[in-house]
Structure 1
Amino acid sequence: MSIKLSVIIPVYNAEPYIKRCMESLLNQTIQDYELIFVNDGSTDNSKEIIEEYQKHNRQIILINQDNKGVSIARNEGLAAAVGEYVGFVDADDDVEPEMYQILYAAAVSGDCDVVISNYESELDGHYIITSYPFPSEVVLTEGEIQKQILPFFLKSDQLNTACNKIYRKLLIQEHEIVFPANVALGEDGMFNIFFFSHAKKLKYIDYTGYHYRETKESATRNVSKKDYFQRAIEVYKSELPLCYSNLISEVNIQQFKAIKLIHSVLAYIHIYLEPSANMPFKDKTHYVKRMILHHDVREALPIYSKEMNEELGKYQKALLYLIDQKSLLGIYLITAYSRYRNRKVRGITI
């Protein structure tokens, strides 16, 4: 039997969510697929739950390893996968029943190396769909990937996730593409940049089948354990893969990097000043102060303001002004007002 698709699911202490995830994957309408669960040293009942499902579902494969992190877990799954294409799902998320049939059909019809779709994020009962400004339902060739897709990675994190895509397994094998093992944040983006730099055909479909659920344990809420800003600085200063050297001028690269860095800083300011952030108030304000005074942020800020001025609203311009003025109190007050206003608009009681 030929396996069309391998879906790789790294699992670490996902007991509250794993059944919902597994049910959504077992209900897929695509035929001839395998589900590779990589238990990354879970200390709860995740392993036992998967084993119970495995007894009644022959497409489930379970790999157990000591706790080594999500990248190594995914790489173990890649090594075991035999599907024509591979996809990735996080154990606390779920997918629509037709998702992989739709993505696989799109890949086969265009002989594509990769297919991109939208995804839906859920946070505290609110839903946001992330889509992309790429031509939809058409095959992009290598030149178009280089002009449209690869530069997008430089100025935005929105395309980084591996979970709303399927990838041709043969291309991964030929170029030995893996998730970086020693990166605390941003491993998906690095994997994608290397894969897309070798892709010859791509299709983006304006379809939403993946549901990302942000939990208290999710990376974007784990502010006390992961230094997001330091990782953003590392990306800002990092050497790019050789594929970029002939695609984009050095000036444009710096513009894109500045846009991405300040986008990240704006997002992190809101994350760290959110009342629910699991840090003492003093530590949160110290972290924000560290960001707005950082040399690279001071360097990138005027570039961002110039390039993005026409796209910014009054609130964003005011926040940028306060960052430029190094006004920690002003930043705290304006973000607090923004949260208050948004909750009033949504009808949430404070």
Structure 2
Amino acid sequence: MSRKVSVIIPVYNAERYITQCIESLLSQTLLECEFIFVNDGSKDNSRQIIENYTKLDDRVKLINQKNQGVSIARNVGLLSAIGEYVGFVDADDYIERDMYEILYNSAKQSDCDIVVSNFESEIEGHTVITKYPFPVDTVLKRDYIEEEILPYFLKTDDLNTACNKIYRNKVIKENNVKFPDKVALGEDGMFNMRFFSNATIMKYIDYTGYHYREVVGSATRNISEKDYFSRALEVYNLELPEIYSGRTDKEKVRQLKSIKLLNSVISYIHIYFMPSKDVSFNKRYKYVKNMIGNKHIRESLPIYYSELYSALGRYEKCVIDLIKRKSTLGLYCVTVYSRFRNR
């Protein structure tokens, strides 16, 4: 059977949720898929669970490796992918039965290199659907990608995920598009920048088939082990793909990256001022204090004020003003109040 979509699933200690993930994959209405699980040195029963499924369905492939991180795991999966298109799913998450059929048919209908869809997140008990300000069900060509999509990656993180898209495998292989193996945060964004730099036709569909689950200790919320701000600075200072230097004004790049950095800081303030059993309040307070005093933040503030401040809501304006005043105590009080109001 030819494979229309290769789905790559990096796995590390995911036994609690992986059965639901696998079942959602095997129930896909698009039958011509392969599911490549890359076990990244799991210490729980993840490997055994996947091995049991390989005996039940020949579409399930398992690759075992020592722990090397999600980027290398995905790159290993890409080397094995034989599908016309490639998709990615995280082992904690699950998808709708028709997701890959809808994305694949949409791609084939217009001969797209990439199709982008929405995704649903479950964060702190609230469900949020992420959508994008792009024309819906419209063939978007190279000029749109260069003028709208590539700059979009510089100013926000919400398009970064690889899990709500399918990518033409030929474009990946011919251009050696890979996940960066030495970037601890933002590796999805770099992969997407590299892919879109080589894409000629895309489409955005207003469809939500991917369900992202926020779990305790997940990569995006494990503050006891992850230094989020340092990693955001890495992304801020990272050398961009070559296409940006030729197409985007340097000052515009700096402007967009400054906005993205400050938006990240706003979200990190919220995360670090949430109650935590693993990290003391004093340590989290000091972290936020050092973060808002960082020279890159101070340099980015005037740009943020001139470009975005007037359009912000009252809460965001208050947070930015407190960052400008270096008021860590004020930021703590505002985040506690916001959390109380949103219960």
Both proteins in one fold, TM over 0.5 = yes
SS at match of 2:254: helix
State how many pairs are aligned. Answer: 343
1:209 equivalent in structure 2 = 209
Say whether 1:236 aligns with 2:236.
Answer: yes
Runs of 4+ residues deviating >6 angstroms: none
Instruction: Tell me which amino acid in the other structure corresponds to 1:296.
Output: H
How far apart in 2 are the matches of 1:32 and 1:233?
41
Q: How far is the alpha carbon of 1:227 from its aligned partner? A: 1.1
Return the alpha-carbon distance in structure 1 between the equivalents of residues 198 and 277 of structure 2: 39
8 Å Cα contact 1:107-1:114 kept in structure 2: yes
Task: Give the superposition deviation at 1:310.
Answer: 2.7
- Which residue of structure 1 aligns with residue 17 of structure 2? 17
Name the CA distance, whole Å, in 1 between partners of 2:134 and 2:277: 34
Contact 1:271 1:277 in 2 (8 A): no
> In the alignment, which residue of structure 1 is the partner of 2:122?
122
Q: Which amino acid aligns with 1:220?
A: T
AA aligned to 1:229 is F
Query: Hey, what does 1:280 align to over in structure 2?
Result: 280
User: Once the 2 structures are TM-superposed, how far is the Cα of residue 312 of structure 1 from its aligned partner?
Assistant: 0.4
For the residue of structure 1 that corresponds to 2:153, the secondary structure is: helix
1:140 matched residue in structure 2: 140
Asked if residue 255 in structure 1 is aligned to residue 273 in structure 2, the reply is no
CA shift for structure 1 position 277: 6.6
Q: Supply the distance in 2 between the matched residues of 1:239 and 1:122 (Cα, whole angstroms).
A: 32
Q: Deviations over 1:112-135 (max 9, x none)?
A: 111100000012331000010011
1:65-80 map, 5 Å: 65-80=65-80
Return 204-213 or 1-10, whichever deviates more.
Answer: 1-10
TM-score by length of 1: 0.96
Partner of 1:150: 150
CA distance in 1, matches of 2:10, 2:277: 26
Partner letter of residue 309 of structure 1?
Y
Judge conservation of contact 2:185–2:235 (CA < 8 Å) in 1. Answer: no
The 8 Å contact of residues 30 and 100 in structure 2, kept in 1 or not, is answered as: yes
2-side partners of 1:177 and 1:335: how far apart?
A: 40
Question: Which position in structure 1 is the counterpart of 2:83?
Answer: 83
- In 1: Cα distance, 2:136 partner to 2:31 partner: 25
* Percent pairwise identity: 59
Instruction: Classify the secondary structure of the residue corresponding to 2:246.
Output: coil
Superposition map of 1:16-55 within 5 A: 16-55=16-55
Q: Partner of 2:180 in structure 1?
A: 180
Cα deviation, residue 46, structure 1: 0.7
TM superposition shift of 1:188: 0.6
Q: Is the 8 A contact 2:118 2:208 kept in 1?
A: yes
Task: For 2:57, give the aligned amino acid.
Answer: N
Query: What whole-Å deviation, never above 9, does each CA across 1:89-110 have from its counterpart, x for those lacking one?
Result: 0000000000000000011011
CA–CA separation in structure 2 for the residues paired with 1:327 and 1:38: 45
Within 2, Cα distance between the matches of 1:110 and 1:96?
Answer: 23
Give, in angstroms, the shift of residue 302 of structure 1.
1.4
Q: Does structure 1 residue 112 correspond to structure 2 residue 134?
A: no
Look up the SS of the partner of 2:298 in the other structure. Answer: helix
